[in-house]
């Protein structure tokens, strides 16, 4: 509770469900009692007019009802109320009430009572004006210098100022450049009207200028010539505020400090009468209303300022003098004089809380009771300290970024996928290449354990999968209520997805009002994207998975596909994807192997993943705990890099299309400017085929736009295929080295850092940065290299690379270091590689490789493996020497890149040769330096000889041709020797480079 708060003097609550705004409050001696005391007049948007004469609550009897003089229900909403001399034949005060389509002037009269019930007040209509336009606000004053009575000015919603002299309508004028109405005020010192236009500038119009301006029978465009003989309406002066104004006040209590105050959304402005700014105050809150009042200091202005923090502040110019806490946000504030207290602050809230208060403090007289002095039990304190330290230690051990959810959830979510396809299908594409496209129904069961509000459900699936409805707005749920949401998923593209999982996100508000989000996941069946078919005998890509258990009948694992399969012995099964690719699965007859083969490398991912998962489920049901699976073949990196190259080429094409489109658009605009200049010229000039050039440029732009859109579709498909290929590579690596789930998750996050391509950030640069980070940290060769890489500054900015050679080299090096026993971890410890002797004892994954037997896979032919990753030909000593000479050239590169390049050039070198290389370094440096010098001298000699030949041939005559031929023959014989030496060295370099690439 604040010490500086508004002291309650009198308060009342006006009606229920009524709304009030800035113009709904005014104070004055509206009943003309002659005592000089004010009455409070309040009007609401519901048409209720109330008049109060507050007094201090000395007893519990009476209260607000005793202070209420009048309450009348009018037919229309009340926008604004004002008290003034609105009748020419009388000096009494009258009440002006502004309705949306009517202006009414009333007379409040009171009759003294001679009985217990007291005085009686009546509301009498003096005159009214029916408005042709919807009113927004109004102001009054002595327009034109009149005395003893007030005129009225009403601003309409369409920007028209309507002037009334008592009971007669005078004229109307439209404000120039009007869009939305702003606050309106009258300055009696300059006889001008002030408003803030939609251009966020303060404008001043003199009354004399408004009277002589053109008549506003109908709204005219400011650029059109005037129909009558009046002048065009122009402001006397303007000032750019830069923000919308909430209210304008022109205080008239002191002529020495003539000022105009404007309350903006973030600032308070003070101007003089000529539009020059006096001061400006930047507010640190959102204001709601303000009111200037008289100051005892000359040259200063005091004002009350209400804000949305329930505060009422008192400023003297720009200095904060006092702040009082209110219980609501004031929308209007006035200062009134009452018999018992003068200078009472009257404030009104938007929901009808009328509050009369004064400034002051409310000190608290509460004193804390004395606590009985007791001796401390040190043993109990020590036990409590140990308990708290144990809790702190347990909490600091957890490294979770997201907070753990409560044990009792407000909402339980369970998503189930139907085991049967929908009949009929709800897919948008009926068939693909003659195969019908099925759909499957997903049901989401919701159960609320508490009252939930504003619940929304969102469904997200991976492209090209789609759902019938991806957003649901749920009704409020009570405790124990249940709800079921259904939708169907189907294939909406001509290529298989990279993932069959879908995400469900539910956002809701808890009973305490806190927003919360729940997530759930569902897995779509494989039968949604493929159908059973006949197996293929010859394929391009093959993957073999080894197990340590007897062969399993494939028809028992894939029951939904075995019914239509042609092979009845369960050793062969084929899947036909709806996009056209065919994947064949074979079970070995003599060993514990399973092979997946297809003509599309990416399409094998879903089948291999499904095979591994169903094996785990099958053997876990049988109770076999020592089931192991592995991949003992060679990693298909070259096939994987083909998908990477295709995706990168489409990204390059997309960038080229964007550049061409920008060039064509610039040319199109330039031609348009020239044509426009020709058309505007008074003397006609020939177009010089500019129109033909414009049409051709437009056609080129449309063709480029179509090509860019088509390339974007292909880019989305290529990225999905890259994701599939990456998932397959990660699975093979985990099977090859027996990685744990945590290590597999790190590897997958490294090779798939983004889920979709964007023009600013693509997959290639993100993957390269992530792989480079692993190579520098947990997969570094030694602690020294790791410390050097970690000490470097941040890496380069991520952008589209020139090619994919660096990415391929890093991925190859990543696989090589993992194959040598590298440990994938997020810790910063140096990686310790497993010795080669230990690696040779047990194969990766703990399963010994089994040699293949002829005829093991039946009729299907097994192609020869063309690429080798693990076992490669060891490079010769000359190759090692030239590699070390290349290291000198890479001094300018980063040490991390040099390390990466060294490892990429020798992926198959064993660990034992590392010691031998250190001994041979000194000798190789000398040999490489000598070879480099010899090559430089030979190249210089050849260049000198060739230049001398050309000079001699141009100077000598034809008679000495025979002598030249003899000399040249001698020189050519020497050149042949040099060329033979260089050709031999070039051949050696080619062989060495081929060995490095392998």
Residues 6+ positions from 854 with CB-CB distance below 8 Å? none
Contact 406, 518 (CB under 8 A): no
Provide the strand spans (E) within 605-700. Answer: 629-630
User: 3-state SS of 681-738?
Assistant: CCCCCCCCCHHHHHHHHHHHHHHHHHHHHHHHHHHHHHHHHHHHHHHHHHHHHHHHHC
- Model confidence at 701: pLDDT above 90: yes
Nearest 5°: the CA angle 758, 759, 761 is 60
- Cβ of 468: how many Cβ atoms within 10 Å? 17
Q: Average pLDDT of 919-928?
A: 45
- Model confidence at 341: pLDDT above 90: no
Question: What is the reported pLDDT for 230?
Answer: 53
- Model confidence at 585: pLDDT above 50: yes
Q: Average pLDDT of 767-791?
A: 73
Contact 542, 862 (CB under 8 A): yes
C-alpha 601/C-alpha 595 separation (Å) is: 14
> Using one digit for the tens of pLDDT, what is the confidence trace for 436-467?
889 999 999 999 888 888 889 999 998 889 99
**In CATH, 531-631 is 3.30.70:** no
Count Cα neighbours of 885 within 13 Å in the Cβ-side half-sphere. 18
- 858 phi-psi bin (left φ>0, alpha ψ -120 to 50, beta other): left
Question: What is the reported pLDDT for 697?
Answer: 93
Contact 524, 560 (CB under 8 A): no
Q: Which two tokens stand for residue 612?
A: 């591994």
- Model confidence at 879: pLDDT above 70: no
Contact 44, 16 (CB under 8 A): no
Question: What is the reported pLDDT for 550?
Answer: 82
Contact 629, 549 (CB under 8 A): no
> Using one digit for the tens of pLDDT, what is the confidence trace for 537-551?
888 888 888 888 888
> Using one digit for the tens of pLDDT, what is the confidence trace for 185-229?
999 999 999 999 999 999 999 999 998 887 655 554 444 444 444
Question: What is the reported pLDDT for 374?
Answer: 65
Residues 6+ positions from 659 with CB-CB distance below 8 Å? none
Q: Average pLDDT of 850-864?
A: 44
Which of 300-314, 550-564, 885-899 is the most confident on average? 300-314
Position of tokens 């504003």?
454
CA 710 remoteness from chain centre: 26
C-alpha 212/C-alpha 68 separation (Å) is: 46
Question: What is the reported pLDDT for 960?
Answer: 59
Question: What is the reported pLDDT for 635?
Answer: 87
C-alpha 150/C-alpha 171 separation (Å) is: 16
What would be the CATH architecture of the domain defined by 411-527? Sandwich (2.60)
**In CATH, 5-215+234-360 is 2.130.10.10:** yes
Count Cα neighbours of 797 within 13 Å in the Cβ-side half-sphere. 2
Contact 391, 89 (CB under 8 A): no
Which of 329-343, 352-366, 676-690 is the most confident on average? 329-343
Question: What is the reported pLDDT for 680?
Answer: 83
67 or 154, which is more confident: 154
Question: What is the reported pLDDT for 964?
Answer: 52
User: Rounded to 5 degrees, what are φ and ψ at 898?
Assistant: -60, -40
Q: Where are the domains of the chain?
A: 5-215+234-360, 411-527, 531-631, 637-787+800-819
Point out the least confidently predicted range of 89-98, 230-239, 316-325: 230-239
User: 3-state SS of 848-871?
Assistant: CCCCCCCCCCCCCCCCCCCCCCCC
- 513 phi-psi bin (left φ>0, alpha ψ -120 to 50, beta other): left
Contact 45, 15 (CB under 8 A): no
Question: What is the reported pLDDT for 477?
Answer: 85
Count Cα neighbours of 985 within 13 Å in the Cβ-side half-sphere. 12
Q: Average pLDDT of 857-866?
A: 42
**Confidence grade of residue 93 (pLDDT, cut at 50, 70, 90):** very high
Which of 8-17, 401-410, 967-976 is the most confident on average? 8-17
What three-state secondary structure class fits 892? helix
Q: Average pLDDT of 261-266?
A: 93
Residues 6+ positions from 120 with CB-CB distance below 8 Å? 110, 111, 113
> Using one digit for the tens of pLDDT, what is the confidence trace for 115-126?
555 678 889 999
User: Rounded to 5 degrees, what are φ and ψ at 980?
Assistant: -65, -45
Question: What is the reported pLDDT for 140?
Answer: 94
301 or 969, which is more confident: 301
Contact 248, 227 (CB under 8 A): no
What three-state secondary structure class fits 721? helix
C-alpha 431/C-alpha 531 separation (Å) is: 13
Classify residue 996 by its DSSP letter: H
Question: What is the reported pLDDT for 514?
Answer: 83
C-alpha 620/C-alpha 606 separation (Å) is: 21
C-alpha 831/C-alpha 829 separation (Å) is: 6
Burial (CB count <10 Å: 0-12, 13-18, 19+), residue 614: middle
Q: Which two tokens stand for residue 961?
A: 């041709």
Burial (CB count <10 Å: 0-12, 13-18, 19+), residue 355: buried
Percentage of the chain modeled with pLDDT above 90: 33
Contact 325, 5 (CB under 8 A): yes
- Model confidence at 314: pLDDT above 80: yes
Contact 4, 326 (CB under 8 A): no
Question: What is the reported pLDDT for 213?
Answer: 84
Question: What is the reported pLDDT for 68?
Answer: 87
- Model confidence at 615: pLDDT above 50: yes
Question: What is the reported pLDDT for 99?
Answer: 95
Question: What is the reported pLDDT for 916?
Answer: 43
Question: What is the reported pLDDT for 369?
Answer: 64
The interaxial angle of helices 805-819 and 741-751, nearest 10 deg, is 170
C-alpha 872/C-alpha 906 separation (Å) is: 10
Point out the least confidently predicted range of 2-11, 57-66, 99-108, 313-322: 57-66
Nearest to 900 by CA among 715, 742, 776: 776
> Using one digit for the tens of pLDDT, what is the confidence trace for 707-722?
999 999 999 999 999 9
925 or 397, which is more confident: 397
What per-residue string of b and e applies to 276-310 under the rule 16 or more CB within 10 Å gives b? eeeeebebeeebbbbbbbebeeeeebbbbbbbeeb
Nearest to 80 by CA among 65, 66, 62, 100: 100
Question: What is the reported pLDDT for 921?
Answer: 45
Question: What is the reported pLDDT for 115?
Answer: 54
Please check whether the two domains, 5-215+234-360 and 531-631, share a CATH topology.
no
C-alpha 103/C-alpha 86 separation (Å) is: 12
The H-assigned helical ranges of 792-869 are 805-819, 836-841
What three-state secondary structure class fits 679? helix
Position of tokens 């005060």?
93
C-alpha 768/C-alpha 801 separation (Å) is: 10
Question: What is the reported pLDDT for 305?
Answer: 94
**Confidence grade of residue 665 (pLDDT, cut at 50, 70, 90):** very high
Maximum Cα–Cα distance across the chain: 152
The H-assigned helical ranges of 206-285 are 207-212
- Model confidence at 237: pLDDT above 60: yes
Burial (CB count <10 Å: 0-12, 13-18, 19+), residue 258: middle
How confident is the prediction for the chain on average, in pLDDT?
78
Q: What are all long-range contacts of 404-409, with beta carbons under 8 Å and residues at least 24 apart? A: 408/449, 409/449, 409/518
Question: What is the reported pLDDT for 704?
Answer: 94
Contact 979, 942 (CB under 8 A): no
**Confidence grade of residue 559 (pLDDT, cut at 50, 70, 90):** confident
Point out the least confidently predicted range of 594-603, 746-755, 861-870: 861-870
**Helix-then-strand count for the chain, H and E:** 17, 44
Give the chain's length.
998
Question: What is the reported pLDDT for 57?
Answer: 61
């Amino acid at each position: 509770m604040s010490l500086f708060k508004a002291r309650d003097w009198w308060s009342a609550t006006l009606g229920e469900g009524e709304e009030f705004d800035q113009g709904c409050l005014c104070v004055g001696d509206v009943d003309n009692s002659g005592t000089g005391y004010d009455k409070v007049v309040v009007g609401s948007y519901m048409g209720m007019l109330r008049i109060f004469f507050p007094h201090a609550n000395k007893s519990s009897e009476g209260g607000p009802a005793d202070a209420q003089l009048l309450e009348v229900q009018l037919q229309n909403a009340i926008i604004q109320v004002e008290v003034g001399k609105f009748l020419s034949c009388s000096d009494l005060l009258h009440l002006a009430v502004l309705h949306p389509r009517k202006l009414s002037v009333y007379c409040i009269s009171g009759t003294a009572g001679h009985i217990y019930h007291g005085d009686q007040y009546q509301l009498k209509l003096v005159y009214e004006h029916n408005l042709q336009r919807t009113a927004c606000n109004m102001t009054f004053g002595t327009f034109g210098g009149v005395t003893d009575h007030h005129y009225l000015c009403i601003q309409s919603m369409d920007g028209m100022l309507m002037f009334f002299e008592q009971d007669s309508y005078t004229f109307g004028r439209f404000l120039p450049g009007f869009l939305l109405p702003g606050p309106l005020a009258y300055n009696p010192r300059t006889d001008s009207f002030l408003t803030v236009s939609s251009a966020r500038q303060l404008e001043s119009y003199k009354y004399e200028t408004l009277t002589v301006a053109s008549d506003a029978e109908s709204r005219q465009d400011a650029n059109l010539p005037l129909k009558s003989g009046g002048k065009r309406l122009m402001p006397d002066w303007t000032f750019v505020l830069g923000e919308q104004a909430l209210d304008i006040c022109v205080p008239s209590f002191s002529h020495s400090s003539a000022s105009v105050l404007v309350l903006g959304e973030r600032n308070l402005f003070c101007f003089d009468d000529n539009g020059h700014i006096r001061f400006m105050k930047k507010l640190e809150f959102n204001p709601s209303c303000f009111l200037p009042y008289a100051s005892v200091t000359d040259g200063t202005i005091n004002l009350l300022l209400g804000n949305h923090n329930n505060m009422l502040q008192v400023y003297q110019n720009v200095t904060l003098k006092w702040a009082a806490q209110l219980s609501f946000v004031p929308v209007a504030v006035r200062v009134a004089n009452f018999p018992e207290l003068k200078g009472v602050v009257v404030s009104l809230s938007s929901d009808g809380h009328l509050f009369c208060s004064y400034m002051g403090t409310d000190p608290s007289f509460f004193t804390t009771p004395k606590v009985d002095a007791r001796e401390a039990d040190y043993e109990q304190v020590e036990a409590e300290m140990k308990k708290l330290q144990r809790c702190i230690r347990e909490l600091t051990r957890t490294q979770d970024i997201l907070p753990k959810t409560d044990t009792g959830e407000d909402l339980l979510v369970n998503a189930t996928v139907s085991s049967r396809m929908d009949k009929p299908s709800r897919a948008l594409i009926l068939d693909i290449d003659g195969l019908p496209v099925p759909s499957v129904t997903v049901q989401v069961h919701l159960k609320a354990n508490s009252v939930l509000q504003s619940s929304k459900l969102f469904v997200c699936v991976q492209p090209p999968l789609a759902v019938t409805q991806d957003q649901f707005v749920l009704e409020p749920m009570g405790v124990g209520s249940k709800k079921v949401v259904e939708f169907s998923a189907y294939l909406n593209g001509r290529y298989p997805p990279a993932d069959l999982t879908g995400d469900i996100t539910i956002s809701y508000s808890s009973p305490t009002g806190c927003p919360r989000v729940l997530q759930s996941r569902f897995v779509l069946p494989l039968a949604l994207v493929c159908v059973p078919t006949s197996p293929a005998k010859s394929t391009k890509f093959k993957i073999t998975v080894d197990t340590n258990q007897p062969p399993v009948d494939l028809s028992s694992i894939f029951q939904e596909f075995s019914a239509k399969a042609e092979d009845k012995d369960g050793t062969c099964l084929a899947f036909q994807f709806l996009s056209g690719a065919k994947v064949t699965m074979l079970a070995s007859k003599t060993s514990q192997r399973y092979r997946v083969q297809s003509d599309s490398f990416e399409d094998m991912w879903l089948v291999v993943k499904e095979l591994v998962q169903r094996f785990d489920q099958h053997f876990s049901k049988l109770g076999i705990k020592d089931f192991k699976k592995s991949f003992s073949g060679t990693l298909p990196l070259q096939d994987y890099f083909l998908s990477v190259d295709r995706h990168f080429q489409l990204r390059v094409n997309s960038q080229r299309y964007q550049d061409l489109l920008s060039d064509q658009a610039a040319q199109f605009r330039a031609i348009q400017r020239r044509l426009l200049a020709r058309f505007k010229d008074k003397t006609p000039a020939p177009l010089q085929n500019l129109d033909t050039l414009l049409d051709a440029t437009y056609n080129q732009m449309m063709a480029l736009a179509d090509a860019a859109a088509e390339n974007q579709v292909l880019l989305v498909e290529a990225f999905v295929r890259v994701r599939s290929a990456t998932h397959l590579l990660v699975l093979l690596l985990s099977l090859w080295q027996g990685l744990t789930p945590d290590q597999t998750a790190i590897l997958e996050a490294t090779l798939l850092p983004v889920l979709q391509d964007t023009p600013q950030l693509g997959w290639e640069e993100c993957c390269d940065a992530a792989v480079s980070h692993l190579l520098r940290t947990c997969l570094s060769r030694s602690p020294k290299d790791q410390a050097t890489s970690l000490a470097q500054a941040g890496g380069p900015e991520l952008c589209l690379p020139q090619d994919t050679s660096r990415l391929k080299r890093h991925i190859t090096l990543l696989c090589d270091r993992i194959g040598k026993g590298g440990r994938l971890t997020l810790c910063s410890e140096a990686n310790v590689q497993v010795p080669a002797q230990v690696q040779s004892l047990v194969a990766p994954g703990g399963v010994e490789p089994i040699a293949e037997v002829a005829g093991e896979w039946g009729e299907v032919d097994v192609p020869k493996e063309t690429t080798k990753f693990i076992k490669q030909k060891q490079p010769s000593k000359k190759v090692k020497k030239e590699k070390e000479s290349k290291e000198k050239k890479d001094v300018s590169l980063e040490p991390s890149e040099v390390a990466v390049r060294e490892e990429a050039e020798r992926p198959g070198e064993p660990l034992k040769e590392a010691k031998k290389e250190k001994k041979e370094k000194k000798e190789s440096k000398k040999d490489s330096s000598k070879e480099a010098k010899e090559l430089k001298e030979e190249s210089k000699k050849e260049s000198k000889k060739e230049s001398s030949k050309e000079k001699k041939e141009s100077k000598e005559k034809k008679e000495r041709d025979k002598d030249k031929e003899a000399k040249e023959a001698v020189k050519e014989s020497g050149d042949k020797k040099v060329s033979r030496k260089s050709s031999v060295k070039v051949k050696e370099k080619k062989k060495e480079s081929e060995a490095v690439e392998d």
